[in-house]
Amino acid sequence: MLYVRPNNLANARLGVVVAKRLAPRAVTRNMIKRIARELFRKAGLPATDCIIRLTKPVGSRKQCASSRAQKSSIASELGRLLGSQQGEKA
């Protein structure tokens, strides 16, 4: 889920919320945050406040926490969310 609100600053800001109940492993939570920050940095959004909040469970304790498939799935979903804001403001 992506929440966006314009701000009065010269740059965009990002907040990432990844609940432990939705991503039980710290490795997974940290990976999601790293990917979100990198995609946000590359997106070049106008002066907005963005909050990314995880709404569905990602993986489980039994799955590999940072598999290539999981990384690409997360990156594509976050890219789609941030890309939707780029199109509206451009």
Q: What is the pLDDT of residues 24-80, one digit of tens each?
A: 889 899 999 999 999 999 988 889 999 999 999 887 666 666 778 888 888 999 989
- The answer on pLDDT for 87 being more than 90 is no
Instruction: Enumerate domains of the chain plus CATH numbers.
Output: 2-89 (3.30.230.10)
CA–CA gap between residue 47 and residue 20 (Å, rounded):
30
User: Which has more confidence, 89 or 44?
Assistant: 44
The alpha carbon torsion through 31, 35, 41, 45 (nearest 10 deg) reads -130
3-state secondary structure 3-55: EEEECCCCCCEEEEECCCCCCCCHHHHHHHHHHHHHHHHHHCCCCEEEEEECC
